[in-house]
A = this chain, B = another copy of it.
Amino acid sequence: MPSPQAPELLPIGIVTISDRAFAGTYEDKGGPGIVAALQDFLAVPWRPEMRIVPDEQAQIEAVLKELADQAGCSLILTTGGTGPAPRDVTPEATLAVADRVMPGFGELMRMASLKDVPTAILSRQEAVLRGQSLIINLPGKPSAIRTCLDAVFPAVPYCLDLIGGYRLETNPATCVAFRPKS
């Protein structure tokens, strides 16, 4: 008689993009900030696929491709590298691996962050589709990460349904995900 199988843990890509976090001269707070938000939101078994890369476009592209194409991550969240500083190349790397662009995510995340700080417009955050994966750029600061995820996460499960990704369920006390009835 086969032993009962452990429930499958859905892999979610979490990518910290930061020269200093990669070099170890700075404690990564963005990655753990994303994990904390997802622990709050999700009502399905999941596991983080954590990566830390420097602000180098080629390396960011490589890790995004690996998570989407090999690691089975239907959802990939990045933190860091979205501002106007010369080393900030996360949006360029994200667009470079995209099949299609989802402009509504960046618009709404900037609008939501604007309630906190006027410099929210400096974020160049993008969200894109690559195959059956949704990639969303988040800011570097944990408080800004939470603001952005609160704004857009209700649309994430249905987006994954539409692109053929895994099925996410959320805890309605923390995130009211929306799926049309039809």
Q: Chain A residues in contact with chain B, CB under 8 A?
A: 83-86, 92, 100-108, 110-111, 114, 117-124, 129, 134, 152, 154-155, 158-159, 162-164, 176, 178, 180
Given A108-B114, A110-B107, A102:B119 Cβ within 8 A:
no
Which residues of chain B are within 8 angstroms of A103 by Cβ–Cβ distance?
A: 106-107, 110, 124
Copies of this chain present in the complex amount to: 3
Q: Which of B85, B102, B118 contacts A122 (CB 8 A)?
A: B102
Given A84-B163, A118-B154, A119-B180, A104:B110 Cβ within 8 A:
yes
Contact call A100/B84, Cβ cutoff below 8 A: yes
| 10 contacts across the A-B interface (CB closer than 8 A) | A86-B163, A92-B100, A103-B110, A107-B121, A108-B110, A118-B154, A119-B159, A121-B155, A122-B155, A122-B159
